[in-house]
Structure 1
Amino acid sequence: MAEEIRAEMVANVWKIVAKVGDVIEADEPIAILESMKMEIPVLAEDGGTVTSIAVNEGDVVQEGDLIAVLD
Structure 2
Amino acid sequence: MENLTAMMAGSVWKLLVAVGDEISSDGEYVILESMKMEIPHAAPYKCKVVNVFVQEGDFVNEGDSLIQVEKLG
Calculate the TM-score normalised by the size of structure 1. Answer: 0.94
Partner of 1:61: 60
Q: How well do the aligned residues superpose, as a CA RMSD in angstroms? A: 0.7
Calculate the TM-score normalised by the size of structure 2. Answer: 0.92
Unmatched segments (≥5 aa) in structure 2: none
Partner of 2:28: 29
Percent identity of equivalent pairs: 44
- Alpha-carbon distance between aligned partners in 2 of 1:40 and 1:55, rounded to the nearest angstrom: 16
Q: Counterpart of 1:19 in 2: which secondary structure? A: coil
Which letter maps to 2:27?
E
Unmatched segments (≥5 aa) in structure 1: none
The alpha-carbon deviation at position 27 of structure 1 amounts to: 0.5
Q: Counterpart of 2:14 in 1: which secondary structure? A: strand
- Alpha-carbon distance between aligned partners in 2 of 1:60 and 1:44, rounded to the nearest angstrom: 20
Alignment of 1:39-54 (within 5 A): 39-54=38-53
Q: How many residues matched? A: 70
